[in-house]
Amino acid sequence: MAHGLSSGTLAIPSDTVNKFLTWDGAQNRLECVSGAEQDNANILDSKTIYRGTESPLTTAPLIQLTPMENRKTCQVEITVPFHDLDPMNIVWHGNLMKYFDVARFALLDQCGIDLQKYFEKTSYLFPIIKTSTKHIVALRNRDELLCKVTVLEARIKIVMDFEIRRKGHHEICARGRSEQVAVVYPQMELLFEVPEDIRKPLGF
Q: Which amino acid is at 83?
A: H
The pTM of the full predicted model, rounded to 2 decimals, is: 0.69
**Which candidate, 190, 148, 187, 188, places its Cα nearest to that of 166?**
148
Angle, CA 49 vertex, CA 180 and CA 69 arms, to 5°: 85
CA 92 to chain centre: 24
pLDDT at res. 70: 79
**Which candidate, 118, 104, 119, places its Cα nearest to that of 72?**
104
- pLDDT by residue for the chain (204 residues), tens only, comes to 333 333 333 443 434 333 344 444 455 444 444 444 444 444 333 333 334 433 343 333 444 556 666 799 999 999 999 999 999 999 999 999 999 999 999 999 999 999 999 999 999 999 999 999 999 999 999 999 999 999 999 999 999 999 999 999 989 999 999 999 999 999 999 999 999 999 999 999
Say if CB 173 and CB 145 are below 8 A apart. yes
Q: Where in the chain is the domain with CATH 3.10.129.10?
A: 68-199
Architecture in CATH for domain 68-199? Roll (3.10)
For the chain, state the CA radius of gyration: 19
Q: How many residues can be counted in the chain?
A: 204
pLDDT at res. 191: 96
Measured CA to CA, the distance from residue 192 to residue 17 in angstroms comes to 10
The model's pLDDT over 101-113, given as tens digits with 9 standing for 90+, comes to 999 999 999 999 9
The model's pLDDT over 122-133, given as tens digits with 9 standing for 90+, comes to 999 999 999 999
DSSP E strands in the chain: the ranges are: 9-11, 19-24, 29-34, 47-52, 62-64, 73-79, 124-125, 128-135, 144-153, 158-166, 172-180, 183-184, 189-190
Angle, CA 144 vertex, CA 165 and CA 167 arms, to 5°: 45
